[in-house]
Structure 1
Amino acid sequence: MIEYLKGEVTELEPTRAIVECGGVGYECVISVYTYDKIKRNEVNKLYIAESIREDAHILHGFISKQERAIYNLLVSVSGVGPSTAQCIQSSLSPDELVGIISTGNDKMLKNVKGIGGKTAQRIIVDLKDKIGNLGIAALNTGGPASAALAKNENGDEAIQALMALGYPQSNATKAISSLLAKDPTMSVQALIKAGLRMM
């Protein structure tokens, strides 16, 4: 089992990162939350959860042990696989997710692609008692970028992330363009979270 990878992030996209350790590049599936916290071409540390299938050995990377713990709890729920857990964690920050589950508010969960009413309720029922033990503090979502950067790079990356999560390009472009028209300084994470709620 791999506990964590620490090395230079040589490639970085909203849903994946390549971490080079000892001359080997490891591809990690990441959430938008983790994407917003790490830097390309810098040394970063990602905590790892492994997903092993017959045709693939997938590494899921997380910026903190708490985020990984939430992922492990999510995939323990019947009907929630790695892709669905990634969508949830890309839509909601760790502290938001803890708050939603702790209070039994399933409305936000039902806004996530692939989560229906029954699955949202199952997540809350199965995890309500477990998630309070994680001790997650409130975490920031990142500072504003310049308007030009937000329009040219943040918007493009947010659209690519929504497409990677299964949404049509036309819908993703419409949602992100609408958000940037209102606030051109939105971070990638903020754009994706708001965009997911508009789908």
Structure 2
Amino acid sequence: MLDYISGEIVELTPASVVVDCNGLGYFINISLNTYQNMSVGHRIKLYVYEAIREDAHLLYGFRDKHEREIFLLLISVSGVGTNTARVILSSMTVAELESTIASGNSKLLKTVKGIGAKTAERIIVDLKDKIKASGDSLIMGALAHSETENEAVAALIMLGFMQAASAKVVRKLLSESPQMTVEQVIKSALKLL
């Protein structure tokens, strides 16, 4: 089992990263929270979860062990797979998720794409005792409007949404708030799609 991968970022999107580790390029699925403050050419250490399926070996990467622990707790819940867990972690910070679960706020969990009432309740029931509420602040940087739009739409497509619907929602969000970052746009779009 892999614990972490350390190396240079050679490719980066809001949903994935390719890390060159001694000549091997590892394709790693990431959440928006992990994506923050990353840039091509910089070195990174990502804690990983390796999902081995019959048809694929997938890597999921996390900025710190705590986010990986939350991811593992999420996928331990019946009905929550790796992609759903990644969408949840892309929709809110770890601290926001912990607070949501600790307070039993199933309404907020239901705003995440792919989470219905039963799954939201199951997440809260299964994880409420395992999660402590904490307060982290989200750090975001500003990007150019067109670049923000392109990256946000690309990330939504990679998360399984249709291009036309994604582009429409992203344009609407950016027309209302042009200063939004890629992360903010995607998080808002996930609640609208």
Q: TM-score range by the shorter chain?
A: over 0.9
Superposed structure 1 runs of 4+ greater than 3 Å apart = none
Does the Cα contact within 8 Å between 1:36 and 1:188 map onto a contact in 2?
A: no
Q: What is the letter of the counterpart of residue 158 of structure 1?
A: A
Q: Which residue of 1 aligns with 2:19?
A: 19
**Equivalence for 1:76:** 76
Partner residue, 2:141: 143
Aligned equivalents of 1:103, 1:152: Cα separation in 2: 38
| SS of structure 2 residue aligned to 1:119 | helix
For 2:171, the equivalent position in structure 1 comes to: 177
Whole-angstrom distance in 1 between the partners of 2:44 and 2:135 = 21
Residue in 1 that maps onto 2:188: 194
2:64 aligned partner: 64
Q: Partners of 2:141 and 2:15 in 1: how far apart?
A: 20
Pick from 136, 157, 163 the counterpart of residue 163 of structure 1: 157
Count of residue pairs the alignment pairs up: 193
Residue 11 of structure 1, CA deviation: 0.4
Verify the 8 A CA contact 2:48 2:61 in the aligned structure 1.
yes
**TM, length-normalised to structure 2:** 0.95
State the Cα RMSD in Å. 1.3
The amino acid across from 2:188 in the alignment is A
User: Which stretch shifts more, 66-75 or 163-172?
Assistant: 163-172
* 1:70-111, Cα deviation, whole Å (9 max, x unpaired): 100000000111011111111111111011001000112112
Q: Which residue of 2 aligns with 1:86?
A: 86
- Cα deviation, 1:96-148, whole Å, max 9, x if unaligned, reads 1011001000112112221110000000000001011xx75413231333xxx
Q: Which runs of 5+ in 1 are unaligned?
A: none
Contact 2:149 2:182 in 1 (8 A): yes
Conserved 8 A contact 2:74-2:123? yes
Q: What residue identity is the alignment partner of 1:130?
A: K
1:96 is the counterpart of 2:90: no
Letter in 1 for 2:165: N
Seen in structure 2, the aligned counterparts of structure 1 residues 78 and 29 have a Cα distance that, compared at 3 Å, is: same
Question: Using the alignment, how far apart are the partners of 2:116 and 2:138 within structure 1?
Answer: 28
Residue deviations 1:49-72, cap 9 Å, x none? 111111211110001111111100
* TM score, norm. by length of structure 1: 0.92
**Equivalent residue letter for 1:38:** M
Residue ranges of structure 2 left out of the alignment (5+ in a row):
none
What is the letter of the counterpart of residue 138 of structure 1?
D
